[in-house]
Amino acid sequence: MRLYDYPASANCYKARLLLALLEREYERVEVDIFAGETLTPAYAELNPARETPVLELDDGQLLAQSNAILWYLAEETPYLPDDPPGRAHVAQWLFFEQERVMNGIGSARFRILTGRNPEVVPARLELGRSALEMLAARLADRAFLVGDSCTIADLANFAYTHVAGDAGYDLAGYPAVERWLARIAALPRFMDDLVTYPANARAGQSESIYDA
């Protein structure tokens, strides 16, 4: 397998984290989003949306969208339930992550750290607060989001939530969320190689889909 990814993207980190937990071997191809590397015709063949990550399978098939990649990798592993209700609940929390955690916490963090679109930050921060409140309510009396063990629902939501402090959130106000983050960080083979956005990610210094 080959993973095309960007080191500072939490969406990409999700895939790297699951691959590490599963001890799966793969080739990593770093793509500099903000140097225009996703804007080339060659990258458009990998993903016409010009986004990362992209997982290239051994037979040449291509998978895009971080949570779809997680689902594929988790098949027939403990990170994806085998019962229909359990799988549906995982899907529920994957949609939640994209709608509220990424678009709230992740989007606010990106704009704060790179100086982009400050006018939209308050609304994104408020969306992120609602996400933290819903996570806290779900985790108040349970260890993980679905079932009794960690699934890709947890890994997907962990990626942006664990760096929420970069956007100014005080996670101490959400103790159930803090305990959940610690449980995931304590998993065997857990790793965190997410880096901060480099200088070329800042507004006015990049060439990317985010500069259109």
Digit-coded pLDDT (tens) for 94-130: 999 999 999 999 999 999 999 999 999 999 999 999 9
Average pLDDT value over all residues in the chain: 97
Alpha-carbon 176 to chain mean position: 20
Question: Region 139-152: what's the mean pLDDT?
Answer: 98
Q: Residue ranges of the domains in the chain? A: 2-77+193-211, 84-185
d(CA 149, CA 160) in angstroms, rounded, equals: 20
d(CA 23, CA 17) in angstroms, rounded, equals: 10
Phi, psi of 198, deg, nearest 5: -75, 175
pLDDT of residue 12 exceeding 70: yes
**Token digits for 173?**
């106000």
CATH number of the structural domain 84-185: 1.20.1050.10
Q: Count Cβ atoms below 10 Å from residue 187 Cβ, excluding itself.
A: 15
Which CATH number among 3.40.30.10, 3.40.190.80, 3.40.710.10, 3.30.70.920 corresponds to the domain 2-77+193-211?
Answer: 3.40.30.10
Alpha-carbon 51 to chain mean position: 13
Alpha-carbon 65 to chain mean position: 10
pLDDT band at 206 (very low <50, low <70, confident <90, very high): confident
pLDDT of residue 212 exceeding 70: no
Percentage of the residues of the chain whose pLDDT score is greater than 70:
100
